[in-house]
Structure 1
Amino acid sequence: MADDNAVVDGSAVRVDAGGWGLTWAADDAGCLRQVGLGPEGATAQLGEIPLALFPDAYPTYGGGDALRPPALRITHADGSLTTRLVVEHVSRMVEPGGEHVTMRCRDERFHLHVEHHLRTHPASGVLEQWVEILHEEPGPVRLMSYDSMSPLLLASPDAEVVQFVGGGWADEWRWNEEGLSPGTKSLASFGGVQPHLQAAPMLLLSPSGPGSERSGDSLGCSIQWGGNTRFDLDVRPKGDLAAPSELRLRCGANPLGAEYLLDPGVRFVAPAVAWTWATTGRAEVTRRFHIWTRERVLRDPNRVRPVVANNWEATFFDFDEARILDLIDQSGELGAEVFLLDDGWFGTNHPRDDDTAGLGDWDVDRAKLPNGLAPLADAAAARGLRFGIWVEPEMVNPLSELYVDHPDWVVRDSREPAEHRNQLVLDPLIDEVREFEASVVDRALCDPGISYVKWDANRPITDPGSTQLGPDRQANLWVDQVHATWAVMDEVVRRHPEVELMLCASGGGRTDHATLRRFHEFWTSDNTDPVTRVRMQWACSHFFPAAAMAAHVTRWGGRPIHFGCAVALSGRFGLDLDLLALSSDEWAACRSAVALAKRTQRLVQQGRLVRLVSPMDRADRSRAALACIDPGSDETVLFAYQLEASNRPSPSLMLDWLDPDATYTVTETDLAVAGGAAVTQRSGRELIDGLDWQLTEPETARVWEITPVRG
């Protein structure tokens, strides 16, 4: 049901996002003003202050503030550089679980419209916000910048931001906590296909002071975009040094090199930003994002993700049928649920013996697998395993039959395309390429019994351009290739709705809420060193539930296997080991971990996360503890990790969500110790008062399963 107002006459437009929100209104000149934002933002009163004194809700170039970067900058068809918008129309549409508010603005001179879209999810407290642009000017207009939103906040002198810019591959989800200083700080990602290796498109902001887990104002933002993204934090202090500064937060697609030429009558849709404002700290931001991600993003959110065994770190490209069959045998013996055959299974004239050849030729390499994939899938099924396969549909090696036949299928400009990691990017703007990419998965799944696919992408875009775009709009590639790639992924989902899909891009290069809608999980990082992974998964957990975060036990970092198992158990658990080379103690630890995963993964993946001891603490980064709970039953699984040596006092793990009058069975597991777990009964009051921290040595862990005693 829609509620439309043809003209906005200064009355308030209120958006309640569930515990917080915003109020906008048009001033006497028709300019859209931000009247309220935050916990009481949806109830802000207009009062006697002239609306023209309130900040712009969405600044434009030439729209009034000449001293700050705008959210929107357009070169019009006649060459004019300024855009001045007035409010024309507002509509409200009731949707399942919320409403969709649309504010339609027009340029006061040109036939150009900018729509502000706001979709509420009151059950989770997450708001999605974006802009859409369309025009009927005499010719194309050029969008120079096109942020999805641009709210103005007040930031105290000790306000903090947490951002996740790292060093690239194997350094995703780096926790960077810092204060805000005057000027503009830009946090941008690049690369197009795998931009999030550098910077996750998420941000935590504490405008009222240092961030805290359970107290204080905390904002969480996620740009839903499978391409390059950008946060700009523009801080302008007042004359009084103790007074809050003005903070303009601009979020959206990164427009650098991506100026978009938009034809008349064509609608440009900017990425949606999902965001929330909590008054009780980062834990509430996490709770809201987890609810929203499960309800609105993840495929099959109620399906417990399987225990996956992968051959990659056991064999890399060097394997044959006998080697894989041995690993399948061992995976079945351990109790895994999926065996994933990684890179190296394909290529005929150019066999995939390393990363220099074969990519694009998706026929089984009969030298390695003379009987094809079917015997492997059959062997897996006989041992109680599903079978999965690795693909990289978007890429091609120049040393391949595909490239020989179709050298014109790659993303390129007027120069000869430059190789990166011995490969090139296929151009998804070409119709035949999109069909080919979708058919890669068809061909990989042609053998019955294959029901899991790892979708990888190991190269950024370095030569942006397309034969499908005119000379004046080559920069459109950065936007158009995202939508074209999503179209391929959507087609794969349509053709194979029951197949589980893992999203990977040189590790964690595609950890965004938009692309994830086509997948069941993502590969969090190629860095599987468990000490590093505790911190990565801690950071990632602020926006994604554990069901989305694939976490495998490997030998990366040379850590004890039992410790790696304990860390992987707090994500979607899996193994990527040479199972034939495990010692008897390591085998026992893995076997116990798989059994523990089958008991706890429902809670880990679908329960409510409680972070107890932070490995990002300014004073002590040596420890971490977290719990996953079923709020309906108090059933809990608790993980504690000693990462490094520490001379600081040990924390006490206070489980304050339990019932003090109940009795609980507590099963304590140390995977380094053979012979099972210690089982005791404890009162809820004892557990609320705190479990003692028993870990003293680096790279040790404990797992507690806590279950209420019934009757």
Structure 2
Amino acid sequence: MNYFFRLSALSLCLLTGQLQAQNINISVETRSNALVLQADAKKNLNTLYLGKKLASAAEYEQITGQYKQSSEYTGVLSAAYTPSGSRNLLEPAISVSHADGNNSLDLRYVSHELKKLSDDVSLLSILLKDPVYDFQVTLFYKSYYKDDVIEQWSVIKHKEKGNVTLQKFASANLYLKAGGFYLTQYHGDWAKEMQPEESKITHGIKTLDTKLGTRANLFQPSVFMISLDKPATEDEGTVLYGALEYSGNFRTDLELDYLNNLKIISGINNYASAYTLKPNEAFTTPAFLYTLSSTGKGDASRNMHNWARNYKILDGKGQRLTLLNNWEATYFDFNESKLFDLLKDTKKLGVDLFLLDDGWFANKYPRNGDVAGLGDWEENKTKLPNGVASLVKEAKNNEVKFGIWIEPEMVNPKSNLYEKHPDWVIKQPKREEYYFRNQLVLDLSNPKVQDFVFGVVNDLFTKDPELAYIKWDCNAVIYNAYSATLGNQNHFYIEYMRGLYKVLERIRTKYPTVPMMLCSGGGGRVDYAALQYFTEFWPSDNTDPMERIFMQWEYSYFYPAITSSNHVTDWGKQPIKFRTDVAMMGKLGFDIVVSHLKENDLKYCQDAIKTYNVIKPLIWQGDQYRLANPKEGSVASMLYVNSGKTAAVMFNYLVNNRYDEGSKLPIKLKGLDASKKYAVKELNLYPGTSSAVDGTKVYSGDFLMKIGFNPVVNSGRTSVVLQIEELK
């Protein structure tokens, strides 16, 4: 198969007594889909089509004639990048004030260029210019053929005689036609992340956005789905997944227009962020990511997972470390002796790494709670008289690795750093300080602060080169946004994110392979721009395994299992087996007091870790199938299948504790080879128990997918893990 992205410039001659100017069609095709743009005779660049690709590219020209909708009026309703102030009557993708004060903009097609970056990846650029002002926008479409994924962004420039103010500056502007549109969006708060809502899109504008500055996804994640014609299911329906690759303020406008078509405009939130663009300066927007599936949500998520592992996530095809965290064992109350004991427990448990969480630093204002010390990143001499180095050494003696928690973007007002550098802190000079978790945010638009934050990480590795893991937290939002060193406060939110990315780029240039967890009071900052620098993210501080089943289900639509840090803790009322089984559906970790475990609980954990080490490549790299939705029944079921369809692992849980609930019906598997023969074996049995699954029976893939398999989940078997292996 040819994995090149095809770009075609097709000309149609319209004869009305004489030869008219030609339309130019620009088609970006992936394995299943096509995005077709058209520059008309007047060089307006519009969206002709976005959907399942046609066998004949010549037939795209005939699409418009099949729609008998009312008059368009403007000529730019379906614009590929809608300008404001000229003919457009609806929400724009870009709005500007020119150097002479004029607010109008018109963008006309000039040229396009295709670069093949590999057999699988192509980059299309389309240059648009204003006929009156020396102002241009270049649209970029980076296409990933095999995964049906497109990243889209814009670069804005001008050569006017003075500065131009960008009032709005979207990354992407999509235009869809269907009989109706259904939005799946997400909302949440601390410990309540990724709560889904589905609704039919009605006329007007639905805006998904955040203005928090940091921890931007706390209330409103930037990911969403759009189903066309009817709500999509796992295996049926047409659905588009969208996500902005940006860790700061975002905005996505969904507008159902007067022709009943849907305009999707997504980019950096222009809230309090009018950007002054100098002549010849290039403003590059973040990428908007989307994938389209005509066969339901499952294929869309697997496309996104494959793309993420291959192209976006740091070390997406690599290894991850299982760990033991001290947080719930000690909170802030620990010393070197206690940590030495926990390091021995790390070895006993059988995980790879011990993670020292919050509370290890600060002396003038010791970090004995969350009210003081944040920002003072020297070891606390009372708790760690011999420094972090002694812990790294002791970890090595126990044949495990050592990692550490930091929150380098934040500061407590009660800290040495705050006293020395009040101008480094984000706060309004004439207003009362207002705190989020007793914290303020450091001003990363300031290069000196960027150096400081980079230095926090660099100093740790300089002192202890064998440090093996960083947990990077970000717990505060931005109140009273103001930079003491930034000349134009309208640039603040954008410059903060530029500063953060500069720091992360410096860290990864010097320390390219060190695993880092992206933590933000839970899933407050997960996005694909951040995951270029982090190996994993923390979905939620809520580690109740029952809650995590629902959260991890929703995250799985957009992020592969290898990115999800799942810890076994004492949250919830479920037994240790249930808690561990849930945590195994991603990157496994523990945050428990090992010494308090009963003998059989400890043995179960030790055996489960050994099992996990065998099956984790399948979980991390396999195709993920959601089989039984916890919101729709008494049982939740998730399946991971390897690329050769020779092995799979299936996780099953009871999510309804009412009388006599369980897996009364078989659960149909997916993704297997119908012609292969498989054996089904239960894993993770608790010591002293036997399986209700007969591992000697043989099933065809055809049977398992059409009839299904009953994992025998009930009140006595609340979590069941099954291994499915081909028999040869």
Coarse TM-score class (shorter-chain normalised): over 0.9
Question: Which residue of structure 2 lines up, in the alignment, with residue 340 of structure 1?
Answer: 355
Secondary structure at the residue paired with 1:150? strand
Question: Which residue of structure 1 lines up, in the alignment, with residue 455 of structure 2?
Answer: 439
Q: Assess, with a 3 A threshold, how the Cα gap between structure 1 residues 430 and 658 changes in structure 2: closer, same or farther.
A: closer
Aligned equivalents of 1:692 and 1:46: distance in 2? 51
Q: Assess, with a 3 A threshold, how the Cα gap between structure 1 residues 535 and 308 changes in structure 2: closer, same or farther.
A: same
Q: Where does 1:122-133 land on structure 2 (aligned, <5 Å)?
A: 122-133=145-156
Secondary structure at the residue paired with 1:65? coil
> Which of 695, 705, 708 is the aligned partner of 2:723?
705
> Which of 345, 354, 363 is the aligned partner of 2:378?
363
Question: Which residue of structure 2 lines up, in the alignment, with residue 64 of structure 1?
Answer: 87
Q: Where does 1:414-425 land on structure 2 (aligned, <5 Å)?
A: 414-416=429-431, 417-425=433-441
Secondary structure at the residue paired with 2:639? strand
Q: Where does 1:542-621 land on structure 2 (aligned, <5 Å)?
A: 542-617=557-632, 620=633
Q: Where does 1:13-28 land on structure 2 (aligned, <5 Å)?
A: 13-28=26-41
Question: Which residue of structure 1 lines up, in the alignment, with residue 249 of structure 2?
Answer: 228
Question: Which residue of structure 1 lines up, in the alignment, with residue 709 of structure 2?
Answer: 691
Question: Which residue of structure 2 lines up, in the alignment, with residue 466 of structure 1?
Answer: 483
Matched, 1:141 2:164: yes
> Which of 13, 20, 34 is the aligned partner of 2:47?
34
> Which of 104, 118, 123 is the aligned partner of 1:100?
123
> Which of 143, 149, 152 is the aligned partner of 2:175?
152
Q: Is the 8 A contact 1:451 1:498 kept in 2?
A: no
> Which of 304, 307, 315 is the aligned partner of 2:330?
315
Q: Where does 1:522-533 land on structure 2 (aligned, <5 Å)?
A: 522-533=537-548
Secondary structure at the residue paired with 1:80? coil
Aligned equivalents of 1:669 and 1:599: distance in 2? 11
Secondary structure at the residue paired with 2:309? helix
> Which of 641, 658, 668 is the aligned partner of 1:654?
668
Please list the CA deviations of residues 648-695 of structure 1 after superposition, one character each: whole Å capped at 9, or x if unmatched.
973412234434554434321355554576772332325443211411
Matched, 1:80 2:68: no
Tell me which amino acid in the other structure corresponds to 1:14. Answer: S
Question: Which residue of structure 2 lines up, in the alignment, with residue 242 of structure 1?
Answer: none
Question: Which residue of structure 1 lines up, in the alignment, with residue 68 of structure 2?
Answer: none
Q: Does 218-227 or 698-707 show the bigger shift?
A: 698-707
Q: Is the 8 A contact 1:330 1:580 kept in 2?
A: yes
Aligned equivalents of 1:674 and 1:230: distance in 2? 54
Q: Is the 8 A contact 1:175 1:539 kept in 2?
A: yes
Q: Where does 1:447-526 land on structure 2 (aligned, <5 Å)?
A: 447-470=464-487, 473-526=488-541
Secondary structure at the residue paired with 1:164? strand
Q: Is the 8 A contact 1:398 1:424 kept in 2?
A: yes
Aligned equivalents of 1:690 and 1:15: distance in 2? 39
Question: Which residue of structure 2 lines up, in the alignment, with residue 327 of structure 1?
Answer: 342
Q: Is the 8 A contact 2:445 2:498 kept in 1?
A: no
> Which of 204, 208, 214 is the aligned partner of 1:183?
204
Aligned equivalents of 1:299 and 1:49: distance in 2? 42
Please list the CA deviations of residues 361-404 of structure 1 after superposition, one character each: whole Å capped at 9, or x if unmatched.
11111101111122222222222211100111111112222222
Aligned equivalents of 2:717 and 2:252: distance in 1? 36
Secondary structure at the residue paired with 1:605? helix
Uncovered stretches (5+) of structure 2, i.e. residues with no partner: 12-20, 66-71
Aligned equivalents of 1:289 and 1:94: distance in 2? 21
Question: Which residue of structure 2 lines up, in the alignment, with residue 241 of structure 1?
Answer: none
Q: Assess, with a 3 A threshold, how the Cα gap between structure 1 residues 49 and 553 changes in structure 2: closer, same or farther.
A: closer
Aligned equivalents of 1:46 and 1:220: distance in 2? 26
Q: Is the 8 A contact 1:135 1:264 kept in 2?
A: yes
Displacement of 1:508 in angstroms is: 0.9
Q: Assess, with a 3 A threshold, how the Cα gap between structure 1 residues 184 and 327 changes in structure 2: closer, same or farther.
A: same
Aligned equivalents of 2:485 and 2:111: distance in 1? 36
Tell me which amino acid in the other structure corresponds to 1:115. Answer: T
Q: Where does 1:370-385 land on structure 2 (aligned, <5 Å)?
A: 370-385=385-400
Question: Which residue of structure 2 lines up, in the alignment, with residue 283 of structure 1?
Answer: 298
Please list the CA deviations of residues 455-505 of structure 1 after superposition, one character each: whole Å capped at 9, or x if unmatched.
1111111122223322xx212111121111011011111111231111111
Identical counterparts, % of pairs: 32
Question: Which residue of structure 1 lines up, in the alignment, with residue 681 of structure 2?
Answer: 667
Q: Is the 8 A contact 2:325 2:590 kept in 1?
A: yes
Please list the CA deviations of residues 502-545 of structure 1 after superposition, one character each: whole Å capped at 9, or x if unmatched.
11111111110011101111111111111111111111111111
Please list the CA deviations of residues 244-296 of structure 1 after superposition, one character each: whole Å capped at 9, or x if unmatched.
x3111111112122222222211111111111111110111011101110111
Tell me which amino acid in the other structure corresponds to 1:694. Answer: V
Q: Assess, with a 3 A threshold, how the Cα gap between structure 1 residues 187 and 53 changes in structure 2: closer, same or farther.
A: closer
Q: Is the 8 A contact 1:3 1:91 kept in 2?
A: no
Q: Assess, with a 3 A threshold, how the Cα gap between structure 1 residues 498 and 23 changes in structure 2: closer, same or farther.
A: closer
Q: Assess, with a 3 A threshold, how the Cα gap between structure 1 residues 661 and 270 changes in structure 2: closer, same or farther.
A: closer
Displacement of 1:81 in angstroms is: 1.7
Aligned equivalents of 1:429 and 1:661: distance in 2? 59
Secondary structure at the residue paired with 2:468? strand
Aligned equivalents of 2:202 and 2:716: distance in 1? 37
Q: Is the 8 A contact 1:663 1:682 kept in 2?
A: no
Secondary structure at the residue paired with 1:60? coil
Q: Does 143-152 or 338-347 show the bigger shift?
A: 143-152
Please list the CA deviations of residues 409-457 of structure 1 after superposition, one character each: whole Å capped at 9, or x if unmatched.
1223343543322222111222221111111012222224311111111
Tell me which amino acid in the other structure corresponds to 2:467. Answer: I
Aligned equivalents of 1:209 and 1:9: distance in 2? 37
Q: Is the 8 A contact 1:287 1:608 kept in 2?
A: yes
How does the TM-score come out when normalised to structure 1?
A: 0.93
Secondary structure at the residue paired with 2:256? strand
> Which of 177, 193, 211 is the aligned partner of 2:214?
193
CA-atom RMSD in angstroms: 2.5
Q: Assess, with a 3 A threshold, how the Cα gap between structure 1 residues 103 and 448 changes in structure 2: closer, same or farther.
A: closer
Displacement of 1:92 in angstroms is: 1.4
Aligned equivalents of 1:547 and 1:49: distance in 2? 43
Q: Is the 8 A contact 1:507 1:526 kept in 2?
A: yes
Q: Is the 8 A contact 2:663 2:710 kept in 1?
A: no
Aligned equivalents of 1:26 and 1:54: distance in 2? 13
Tell me which amino acid in the other structure corresponds to 2:460. Answer: A
Displacement of 1:224 in angstroms is: 0.3
Aligned equivalents of 2:135 and 2:674: distance in 1? 62
Aligned equivalents of 1:76 and 1:93: distance in 2? 32
Q: Assess, with a 3 A threshold, how the Cα gap between structure 1 residues 674 and 481 changes in structure 2: closer, same or farther.
A: farther
Question: Which residue of structure 2 lines up, in the alignment, with residue 268 of structure 1?
Answer: 283
Please list the CA deviations of residues 576-615 of structure 1 after superposition, one character each: whole Å capped at 9, or x if unmatched.
1122222334323322322222122111111111111112
Q: Assess, with a 3 A threshold, how the Cα gap between structure 1 residues 666 and 693 changes in structure 2: closer, same or farther.
A: closer
> Which of 227, 247, 252 is the aligned partner of 2:267?
252
Q: Assess, with a 3 A threshold, how the Cα gap between structure 1 residues 113 and 522 changes in structure 2: closer, same or farther.
A: same
Secondary structure at the residue paired with 2:696? strand
